[in-house]
Structure 1
Amino acid sequence: MKKIKNPYSNLETYNCFGCSPKNPIGLHLSFILDGNEVIGKWTPSHNYEGWHNILHGGIQATLLDEIASWTVLSLLKTSGFTVKINVQLHKNVLISDGEITLKARLKSKKLNIVTIETQLFNSKQELCTEGEYVYYVYSQEIAKKRFHFPENEDELFGE
């Protein structure tokens, strides 16, 4: 397992709702790479509630979109953007249950279009939400030039 570094955290204008450690209302997500799977842990608070004690479905979709994005970053070594989201909410995620687990893996890649499979598990490791995210990915050259993608792999993995 390798910790995925956030190569953007030192950028002055970086304020991603999903993963910026500086965003005061953000999710502050971080991830590890375990083989071909990206994994994240997150503890919800009542700030992200939809109905009483239930994690808002839009936040669940955001969590899965974020891990899909980091799957593109860590497995394909580039950046891209979401073009399609398909999410199924199977079971309520109770905020009082605590830490949830996010998992993602690359399902397919055809030219610049990739499909990422994502899952959200509650603290009892029950599958609550799953999604399929389609991304358009840039070449590494464009990702480095226009989107501050790191020049070498050392900037992506480690402590």
Structure 2
Amino acid sequence: MQRELASPFPDRRCFFCGADNPQGLGLRFFYDDATGEISTQYVPEERFVGQGDILHGGIQMGLLDELMGWACVAHSGEMAVTADMRCRFLRPLRIAGRPVRAVCRVTGRQGPKVHMEAVLTDADGAVCMRATGTYHVLSPERYEALVQGNASGAG
């Protein structure tokens, strides 16, 4: 069974998931109880074209980065930031007026580091991009300081 995840972010202006960002994507995220995976769907907009009818690679990477961030929070119950993300583009992801799907699963945790794998598929289910990521879990105080601009350096 899939259930929608509530946003853990008090600031609702995020480009990818913020409900209060009229220019954003307004993504919604779902947790699958059977598989432990987090997913989202999105119909790519023409304004995000790269070349031809291909969804810009930066938007593709952003979709998976956002998804992995949500997966980390869902898995750990704590806020986290991207420490490392590696992407592999496998085939063009065409803007075709149909939804693309992104799915992520947590593969492990070592201390404050949460490791994940994610894929982005086209409307026909073909995998267009794969990514791995490591996200660093932060204490509530460290996260607040980071968001408010009072933090320096890597955590």
- Tell me the TM-score range normalised by the shorter chain: 0.7 to 0.9
CA distance in 1, matches of 2:52, 2:108: 37
Q: How many residues align structurally?
A: 142
**Identity of paired residues, percent?**
25
CA distance in 2, matches of 1:18, 1:114: 21
CA deviation vs aligned residue, 1:111-154 (integer Å, no higher than 9, x gap): 00111101001000000001001110124x547x838xxxxxxx
What secondary structure, in the 3-state scheme, does the structure 1 residue paired with 2:96 have? Answer: helix
Unaligned runs of 5+ in 1: 148-159
What secondary structure, in the 3-state scheme, does the structure 2 residue paired with 1:116 have? Answer: strand
CA deviation vs aligned residue, 1:41-86 (integer Å, no higher than 9, x gap): 1100111110121100010000000000100111211111001110
Say if 2:119 and 2:127, in contact at 8 Å, map to a contact too.
Answer: yes
- Listed as ranges, the matches of 1:2-21 within 5 Å are 2-8=3-9, 11=10, 13-21=11-19
Where relative contact order (Cα < 8 A, 6+ residues apart) is larger, the structure is: 1
RMSD of aligned C-alpha atoms? 1.7
Residue 21 of structure 1: how far off its partner (Å): 1.6
What amino acid does structure 2 have at the position aligned with 1:67? L
Show structure 1 runs of 4+ deviating over 4 A: none
Say if 1:2 and 1:33, in contact at 8 Å, map to a contact too.
Answer: yes
Say if 1:68 and 1:118, in contact at 8 Å, map to a contact too.
Answer: yes
Query: Could you say which residue in structure 1 is the equivalent of 2:117?
Result: 117
CA distance in 2, matches of 1:83, 1:114: 9
Say if 1:118 and 1:132, in contact at 8 Å, map to a contact too.
Answer: yes
Deviates more, 1:93-102 or 1:128-137: 93-102
Unaligned runs of 5+ in 2: 146-155
